[in-house]
Structure 1
Amino acid sequence: MNRRRHATTAITVVCALTVLASPALTLTATAAPLPPAAPAAPEKTLEEVRREIDGLYRQAAVATDAYNLAEEQTKEQSAEIVKLARMIVAGREKIDRLKAQAGAAARAQYRNGGLPDGAQFVLTDDPQLFLDHAGRLKQGQKATSDLLGELNRTQGELTLYAKDAGTNWTKLEANRVKQAKAKKDIEAKIAAARKLESELEAEELARLLRMEEQERYRAQTAWLDTGVLKGLDGKATARGKQAVRYATAQIGKPYVWGAEGPGSFDCSGLTQSAWGAAGRPIPRTSQEQWRLLPRVDIKDMRPGDLIVYFKDASHIGMYIGDGAMVHAPRPGRNVTIAGAGSMEILGVVRPE
């Protein structure tokens, strides 16, 4: 009986050791099943990359317009605050002078027993002296009344100037916040676009440029095929010629967002500077140029007119004739001549 129990125990121990020594059995019993491999993301075509890059630069252009507008408003408000500060200083100096005059009048009245100089003559027994100085008394009373009125008006103006300065300061700070946000957006979009470009091989970058050119060519050809240039014989004015000369003289200079010359430009910085050189100040941003300048039909377009692109008016160029325009395209590109219909046209505005 004992011999059988020992034999059974020995067999059990051998079986257990066999199981523990087997790695295949151990893994099967204890390892968790592996998760299924994630499917590989489909590789983007070069055309999809081109569209993505173009979209990022378009978004940067919109943010650039927001930055430029905030910067312009900041300049205006800063100038207004300086103007108001000068007016406040001048107003305080005026109040000091008026108070000095009022003090002199009060001291004179005190010396005369609380009566103004003219009142002394009213109390005289000499009728002729009374008649001679009655008019002087009336003039003195009017002068005192005018002095007090001027003092009150000046104090009221000072209060208004201070209130306006406070309002402009609040706007100034709000626009500085807008500028900072727009700058951050611009830099993020440009960085994302450049990252995509940096991931392309040299041959792919060359193909990308050719694709961009082909897209512009197709759009320009389709635009010309509409017959848009037929009968378009508008001649540039003297100012228009000046603006065109200035804009075309900038060809080859780099696009830099927020720049308005002389070494670099963004799109609206170029058009604003060109018309400024022609003696016609215009708004700073493409959206403000579209909103505020007189609009003309494309069939009436003439050199010097500004062509606004895309539904959000985020790009602008200057028509130079023969179906062409000059513009600052985007970061990484230089001021150049392109087909006027090579992008989606929103409309045309005329600075004069």
Structure 2
Amino acid sequence: MSSIRNTLRALAVAAVSAALVAPAVPARAEPSPAELTRRIERASAELERVVEAHNALAEQIKTNKATVARLQARIGPLEQQAERSRAEVNEIAVTAYKTGDVGTAAALLRPGDATSRLDRLATVDQLARDRQQRIAAFTDDQRRLNTEKTQLNGTLKRQAAQARELANARQRIERDLASLYELRRQAYGRATERPAARPDSARQAPALSGSAGVAVRYAYGALGKPYRWGADGPGGYDCSGLTSAAWRAAGKSLPHNTRMQWGAVAHIGRGELRPGDLVFYRGLGHVALYVGGGKIIDAPSAGRNVLKRDMTIMPIAGYGRVR
């Protein structure tokens, strides 16, 4: 019996010794709430950069489409005017033929392309030079406008391809955010902020006159609404979408892109800030509406809601006043 006890004791000592000398295998720890928050913030910042790039491209595409429409509207009347001028020349040629001025008629009606016809018009003294100049001017205008339209259509195709690339990048980041939000749900019980009660949010706005007052009241009315990429209301906003919507309510047009908004406003110093001005952040990647008292209203990032907070949320790139 003692031999069995001795054997068991020896095995126990050996097991303890093996445990002491065996390499430690660290347990896989779940990310802490603070680490989850940092990862979500990094992914949100990257998503915001992609969204703002997408917004800039959308603004450029919109501008180019409007330019193409204007060109098409100008080309039509020019073509009609040129056709009228050609009809006048043909009528003169027919009249010359009927009146016996066969030389003039032959010069005008002889087969050939438009260029050679214009060249032959130079030989008809009574009115050919005027018609030649007019037709040549109309033809040049049409050629120039068609060239510009062709170039713009090429630009639109390239931008559409870039938009698809940005959409793919955005989808990839949103997939990453979805997994992070699932972890956040496990940590906090909810992936996104709860919508805030907003029945009196617009009434909380300071009493301000003029267009700046309208913009500020609009921003107060947006408090608690969710961040939505590429959106400018009324159900949700991204950062530049909120500022552009607020100032659109005040009758001012701002592009839906932070960097473009920076280019559209008058740049001011911090000491000149007044409610309604814009505050730009981190390399012009984020923008907010200043509402006074050192506070801003902005659409922060994916998963969060429009809120009012201190304007010192991150390094400030500059300040702007809507003109």
TM bucket, shorter chain = 0.7 to 0.9
Identity %: 27
Whole-angstrom distance in 2 between the partners of 1:183 and 1:80: 25
Whole-angstrom distance in 2 between the partners of 1:242 and 1:201: 37
Taking a change above 3 Å as real, the CA distance of residues 51 and 208 of structure 1, as seen in their structure-2 partners, is farther
Contact 2:227 2:302 survives alignment (8 Å): yes
Contact 1:67 1:179 survives alignment (8 Å): yes
* Equivalent of residue 273 in structure 2, options 301, 308, 319: 301
- Report the counterpart of residue 56 of structure 1 in structure 2: 43
Partner of 2:230: helix, strand, or coil? coil
Q: Deviation at 1:45?
A: 3.0
Larger Rg: 1
* Equivalent of residue 45 in structure 1, options 32, 44, 49: 32
Aligned pair 1:273/2:245, yes or no?
A: yes
The CA deviation string for residues 131-181 of structure 1, in whole angstroms up to 9 with x for no partner, is xxxxxxxxx956432222111100000100110001101111111112111
- Report the counterpart of residue 91 of structure 1 in structure 2: 78
Whole-angstrom distance in 1 between the partners of 2:213 and 2:278: 13
Whole-angstrom distance in 2 between the partners of 1:77 and 1:188: 28
Whole-angstrom distance in 1 between the partners of 2:255 and 2:261: 5
The CA deviation string for residues 281-301 of structure 1, in whole angstroms up to 9 with x for no partner, is 122211221234221111221
- Report the counterpart of residue 289 of structure 2 in structure 1: 318
Taking a change above 3 Å as real, the CA distance of residues 60 and 200 of structure 1, as seen in their structure-2 partners, is closer
Whole-angstrom distance in 1 between the partners of 2:216 and 2:192: 30
* Equivalent of residue 56 in structure 2, options 44, 69, 90: 69
RMSD across aligned positions (CA): 2.7
- Equivalent pairs counted in the alignment come to 269
* Equivalent of residue 189 in structure 1, options 138, 151, 173: 173
Contact 2:191 2:303 survives alignment (8 Å): no
- Report the counterpart of residue 313 of structure 2 in structure 1: 342
* Equivalent of residue 284 in structure 1, options 233, 256, 261: 256
Q: Deviation at 1:332?
A: 2.2
Contact 2:273 2:319 survives alignment (8 Å): yes
Contact 2:185 2:191 survives alignment (8 Å): no
Whole-angstrom distance in 1 between the partners of 2:63 and 2:76: 20
Whole-angstrom distance in 2 between the partners of 1:67 and 1:313: 14
Taking a change above 3 Å as real, the CA distance of residues 254 and 42 of structure 1, as seen in their structure-2 partners, is closer
Partner of 2:40: helix, strand, or coil? helix
Partner of 1:199: helix, strand, or coil? helix
- Report the counterpart of residue 221 of structure 2 in structure 1: 249
Contact 1:197 1:205 survives alignment (8 Å): no
Whole-angstrom distance in 2 between the partners of 1:194 and 1:37: 34
With CA pairs under 8 Å and 6+ residues apart, which has the higher RCO, 1 or 2?
1
Whole-angstrom distance in 1 between the partners of 2:192 and 2:62: 40
Taking a change above 3 Å as real, the CA distance of residues 142 and 242 of structure 1, as seen in their structure-2 partners, is farther
* Equivalent of residue 140 in structure 2, options 153, 156, 160: 156
Aligned-partner residue type, residue 226 of structure 2? P
Aligned pair 1:114/2:102, yes or no?
A: yes
TM-score, normalising length from structure 2?
0.75
Contact 1:108 1:116 survives alignment (8 Å): no
Whole-angstrom distance in 2 between the partners of 1:315 and 1:156: 46
- Report the counterpart of residue 151 of structure 2 in structure 1: 167
Partner of 1:319: helix, strand, or coil? strand
Partner of 2:309: helix, strand, or coil? strand
* Equivalent of residue 87 in structure 2, options 73, 84, 100: 100
**1:222-237 superposed matches below 5 A:** none
- Report the counterpart of residue 304 of structure 2 in structure 1: 333
Q: Deviation at 1:344?
A: 2.7
Contact 1:236 1:304 survives alignment (8 Å): no
Which range moves more in the overlay, 254-263 or 162-171? 254-263
Unaligned runs of 5+ in 1: 1-35, 118-139, 210-234
Aligned-partner residue type, residue 285 of structure 2? S
The CA deviation string for residues 69-110 of structure 1, in whole angstroms up to 9 with x for no partner, is 111111111121122222222222222211110000111122
